[in-house]
Amino acid sequence: MGGERAKAVAAAACLAVLLVVGGAGAKQAARTATLGPCAFSQTEIWLGDGDGGGAAGHVYLPLELSNIGHSSCTLYGFPGVSAVNSSGLQIGGGGTRSGPAGPVVRLAPGATAHALLAIADWGAICARGVPATGIRIYAPGQRYSQLVQFQSEVCASRSVLSVGPVRSGVGIPGYTNS
C-alpha cells in the first residue's frame, strides 16, 4: 500500500510541475523528460578537423558524436578515451576529464555534439614514446566503445589524453560556445 501511495504522490507532483510550466512548455518538458540517453547503435564517433596546432605542449581535436538513429536522444558528461596499439590493446591509463560537466545535450536524428580531446606531448610526461594507432572512445553512458584511427606517440604507463564534456554542435577548432 505504501508503494501505491508513493506513486500517487509522485504522479501528483509531476502533474503540478506540468501545470506550472503550462501550455507548449509543458509539452516540451514532457518530451525532454522522456528522451533517453543515446544508444550505442545510434551513436557514431569520429575526430573532427583539428587545426593541427596546439598550446602548452598539447594538440587539440574535436571529438564528434553524431546521432545516426531515427529518434532524438541525449548525451551528458564526458566520453571515455584511451590510446590503443595496432592490436587494439590499451596503452597507458585512460584519459582524464577536463573541466566541469556541461548541460544535457539533446541530439535530434542527424545532429552532432562534440567534446574537446587534448593530446599532450609524450616527451613532457615520460622518457620514451610508444606508437599508438587509435583511440578507443566510449560515448557518455555507453558500455561499448568505438575505435577511431589516429597515429600518435603516447606513454606506456601514463595517459597523454584528456577530454572535456560533451557540448552541443560540431566542434570548430579555436572556437568555444560555452
Query: What's the pLDDT score for residue 53?
Result: 57
Report d(CA 32, CA 78) in Å as an integer.
20
Q: What is the mean pLDDT of residues 81-99?
A: 96
Q: What is the mean pLDDT of residues 100-126?
A: 94
Confidence of residue 120 (pLDDT cuts 50, 70, 90): very high
All three cell numbers of 153, joined, read 606517440
Give the pLDDT mean for 121-130: 93
pLDDT interval class at 5 (50, 70, 90): very low
Give the mean model confidence (pLDDT) for residues 122-148. Answer: 95
Q: Compute the mean pLDDT over every residue in the chain, rounded to the nearest whole number.
A: 82
